[in-house]
Amino acid sequence: MHITQLNRECLLHLFSFLDKNSRKSLAKTCHKLQEVFQDPLLWSLLNFHSPAELKKDNFLLGPALKYLSICWYSERVKVCNIEDWMKNTFQKDFCNRHENTVSGFLLEVCNRCPNLLSLTLSGCGHVTDDCISGLLKKCPNLKTLKLENCVRITDQTLEAVTLYGGSLQTLHVDFCRNITQTGLESVREKCPSVRVSAERSANMIPDSKPEKKSTLEKALRKSVQL
C-alpha cells in the first residue's frame, strides 16, 4: 500500500511522530500530504529550541495551538542576560539581530492562538513584561505559565497575572532575577489557587544601573547620619 492510500486519520497519526522539518519535507512530495501538513489538528503542540527556529516556515500557527515551548539553552543566552549597560559593541550587535524575534512571535500567538493552555519560555532574555501581559489578555484559557531565566521579567508580569490570569493554575518564574519577594507575596495573596515556583528569583540581586546604585547608597548614608 502506498502512503497516500492511507486515510486522513492515519496520515495525521503518522505525521504526529515527525519533527517539524520532516513534516515539511514529506508535505512537499504530493498535494494530499500537503493538505495533511496544513491540518490544524497536527499543530496543537509546538517546541522550539532557538529563536532562529521561529523564522522558519515548517509549522503552522492557529487556534488549535494549546501547548507552546521556546527553550534556548545555548551559551549565547548568557550574552542576552548581561545588563544592557554592561554589553560591549559586539554583544549589543549580537542581541540586536534577534532582540524582537521571540516577542514578535508571541505577538502572533496572541492574535492567532486564543486557545493556548500552556506557555514555557526559557532563556528568552529579551521578552518583556508588556509581551507577557498582552498574552495573558489575549489567551484567557492559559493554565500554565513557566518563565525561566527571562531577565527582563519583573513584578509587572506578576501584577498582570493577578489581573488577567483568571484561568492560571501554575506559575513558574525561576531564575528571573528582577522578580521580588513583594511581587510573589502579592500573587500568593490575590491568587491563592495558583501554584507558584520562584527558584532563585526573589533572592537574586535585581538589575539596577550604576547611577541608581550610587543614589541609593547616598540616601542610605544620609539616613544613617540622621
What interhelical angle do 155-164 and 129-138 show, nearest 10? 10
Q: How confident is the model at residue 89 (pLDDT cuts 50, 70, 90)?
A: confident
Q: Examine the domain organization and report whether 198 and 119 are in the same domain.
A: yes
Predicted confidence at residue 223, as pLDDT, reads 53
pTM reported for the whole predicted model: 0.83
Domain that holds residue 140: 43-208
Domain total of the chain: 2
CATH number of the domain within which 4 lies: 1.20.1280
Strand partners, 171: 145, 196
Strand partners, 87: none
Q: Examine the domain organization and report whether 22 and 101 are in the same domain.
A: no
CATH number of the domain within which 76 lies: 3.80.10
Predicted confidence at residue 69, as pLDDT, reads 97
Counting every residue written for the chain, the total comes to: 226
Predicted confidence at residue 210, as pLDDT, reads 64
- Backbone angles phi and psi of 34, in degrees to 5: -65, -40
Is 213 among the domain residues? no
Q: Examine the domain organization and report whether 95 and 201 are in the same domain.
A: yes
Lowest mean pLDDT of 48-52, 110-114, 205-209, name the range: 205-209
Q: Examine the domain organization and report whether 58 and 145 are in the same domain.
A: yes
Predicted confidence at residue 125, as pLDDT, reads 87
> Does an H or E element contain 195, and which?
strand 195-197
> Does an H or E element contain 87, and which?
none
Cell of 203: 533572592
Is 85 among the domain residues? yes
Are the C-beta atoms of 135 and 163 separated by less than 8 Å? no
d(CA 154, CA 186): 13
Q: How confident is the model at residue 194 (pLDDT cuts 50, 70, 90)?
A: very high
Mean predicted confidence (pLDDT) in 50-54? 90
Q: Examine the domain organization and report whether 184 and 76 are in the same domain.
A: yes
Is 69 among the domain residues? yes
Q: What is the DSSP string of 94-133?
A: HHHTTTTHHHHHHHHHHHH-TT--EEEEES-TT--HHHHH
Is 107 among the domain residues? yes
d(CA 129, CA 106): 12
Mean predicted confidence (pLDDT) in 191-213? 78
> Does an H or E element contain 144, and which?
strand 144-148
Q: Examine the domain organization and report whether 159 and 54 are in the same domain.
A: yes
Is 92 among the domain residues? yes
Q: Examine the domain organization and report whether 5 and 112 are in the same domain.
A: no
Q: Examine the domain organization and report whether 51 and 120 are in the same domain.
A: yes
Predicted confidence at residue 68, as pLDDT, reads 98
